[in-house]
Copies of this chain bind each other. A is one copy, B any other.
Amino acid sequence: MPPPPTEAVEFVEMAGHIVDSLLLPKVLDAILSRGGRYHIDQFDLGQKQDDPSFARIEVRADTPEALEAILREIHPHGAVPTQPADCRTALADVEGAFPDGFYCSTNFRTQVRLGGEWVDVEDQEMDCGIVVDPEGAAARCVPMASVRKGDRVIVGRTGTRVFPPESETRRHDLFEFMASPVSSERPKAVSVREVAQAMRRTRKAGEKILAVLGPAVVHTGGGELVAKMIRAGYLNVLFAGNALATHDIEQAFYGTSLGVDLDQGLPTDEGHEHHLRTINTIRRLGGIKNAVEKGRLTSGIMYECVTHDVPFVLCGSIRDDGPLPEVVTDVIAAQDEMRRHIPGTGFCLMVATTLHSIAVGNLLPAAVKVACVDINPATVTKLMDRGSTQTVGIVSDAEPFLRALVSELEKS
């Protein structure tokens, strides 16, 4: 069968631990899935486990469009055209939008070719565009809403390359175990130990530990455990919502969380109002920091954040009552506020929150290790679907997990 007259061809290269990291198999699979064909032009297999491999692959497809689709798909797996050229840019012609054909970023380390040099992209974040600075010497990820008219935005894949993490690298990294599958049926003491070790290593490396917490942390009685971790220097930045902060302060004011007495466990109809009265009181006092300074708020997670200079970002959501004065009610402003705190973060602990976990997962570069703890396997799965190489999911219960974690951290 002769090739179709419009058949299109391109050569791509891959290098590194491309076999045991599954990158090469994934690329070959992707070519076949999208109806393409391949021919391995050159293949140097690293014979020992530490040797890198190299492959040059001829990719063919029936039409230039089909080929383009294949190349776009294999690019994030590290397959780059053999003939490098500088990246191409277009000027943004609309505020808050990219030019058509803009390059869409991943959360993997990325380089772009500027003036013949490969340059690391700054502020790596997924689902952004890449803007080149006016001098053409640097490039950084920019979210859509932050684009300004006249920005030089990279279009197409030419002159870009991605460094997907290799599984072998991962293996010797923060987490020694805990592969992808999400299950509640794992030895829990091991998960706790691994997270504690990751937190100690991060602290020792002078990097920040970021906590993303949902209100169930307080409802299940874990507030004091988080407070302990803050006092011990194990939580350095806090991202949460109105609910976490409200129920934490409600506990300080009334001893209840959403009206449930945390000592007796007795729910009361009347207690349901506590969270509203809490918010109202804090609004009357002019905010959480004021409440601490005026001596009205004297315990809990938010109190410890204020007294230990742990910055916090409280992001608004449409289900919020109130909200507390510190809550950033504009969601785009809230994302930007979170972005400001991410540089320098080495580890992120997410507990009992779906919305905030996914939002923060979108912002983190792949190099930041994440442990996501939730009693609902669906939450853990959702997060891991979006960046499996960096996240370990732990299906467990907030308070008992935190209790075990604090006691493990105290051992050291």
Closest to A333 in B: B329
Scan A106-140; emit 1 where CB is below 8 A from any B CB, else 0: 00000000000000000000010000000000000
Within 8 A of B (CB), among A262-290: 262-270, 273, 276-277, 279-281, 283-284
Cross-chain contact A25 with B20 (CB below 8 angstroms): yes
Cross-chain contact B270 with A221 (CB below 8 angstroms): no
A27 to chain B, nearest CB (A): 9
Cross-chain contact A375 with B397 (CB below 8 angstroms): yes
Cross-chain contact B189 with A358 (CB below 8 angstroms): no
- Contact residues in B for A179 (Cβ distance below 8 Å): 267
A252 in contact (CB, < 8 A): no
Cross-chain contact B28 with A49 (CB below 8 angstroms): yes
Contacts A216-B184, A318-B317, A399-B187 given; indicate if A277 touches B45 (C-beta within 8 A). no
Contacts A22-B22, A98-B280 given; indicate if A30 touches B186 (C-beta within 8 A). no
A391 to chain B, nearest CB (A): 14
- Contact residues in B for A262 (Cβ distance below 8 Å): 187, 189-190
Cross-chain contact A401 with B400 (CB below 8 angstroms): yes
Scan A354-384; emit 1 where CB is below 8 A from any B CB, else 0: 1110110010000000000001111001000
A370 to chain B, nearest CB (A): 15
Q: How far is A378 from B323 in the complex, measured between Cα atoms in Å?
A: 25
- Contact residues in B for A257 (Cβ distance below 8 Å): 187
- Contact residues in B for A396 (Cβ distance below 8 Å): 375, 397, 400
- Residue among B46, B190, B358 making CB contact with A221, cutoff 8 Å: B190
A interface size (C-beta, 8 A):
120
A320 in contact (CB, < 8 A): yes
A97 in contact (CB, < 8 A): yes
Within 8 A of B (CB), among A136-183: 143-145, 167-168, 171, 176-179, 181-183
- Contact residues in B for A355 (Cβ distance below 8 Å): 317-319, 355
A192 to chain B, nearest CB (A): 8
Scan A26-62; emit 1 where CB is below 8 A from any B CB, else 0: 0011111110011110010111110000000000000
Contacts A47-B39, A187-B220, A283-B97 given; indicate if A33 touches B266 (C-beta within 8 A). yes
Contacts A25-B25, A171-B32, A284-B97 given; indicate if A144 touches B276 (C-beta within 8 A). yes
Closest to A37 in B: B49
A85 in contact (CB, < 8 A): no
List 19 additional A-B contacts (Cβ < 8 Å) besides A43-B45, A100-B280. Answer: A19-B19, A19-B24, A29-B167, A39-B48, A98-B280, A104-B276, A178-B265, A184-B216, A187-B221, A188-B397, A188-B399, A316-B331, A317-B355, A319-B355, A319-B358, A321-B362, A330-B330, A397-B397, A400-B404
List 6 interface pairs A-B (beta carbons < 8 Å), by A numbering.
Answer: A19-B24, A22-B22, A34-B268, A102-B280, A320-B331, A375-B397
Footprint of B on A, CB under 8 Å?
A: 19-22, 24-25, 28-34, 37-40, 43, 45-49, 69, 72-73, 76, 94, 96-98, 100, 102, 104, 127, 143-145, 167-168, 171, 176-179, 181-191, 194, 215-216, 219-221, 257-258, 260-270, 273, 276-277, 279-281, 283-284, 315-323, 329-335, 338, 354-356, 358-359, 362, 375-378, 381, 385, 395-397, 399-401, 403-404
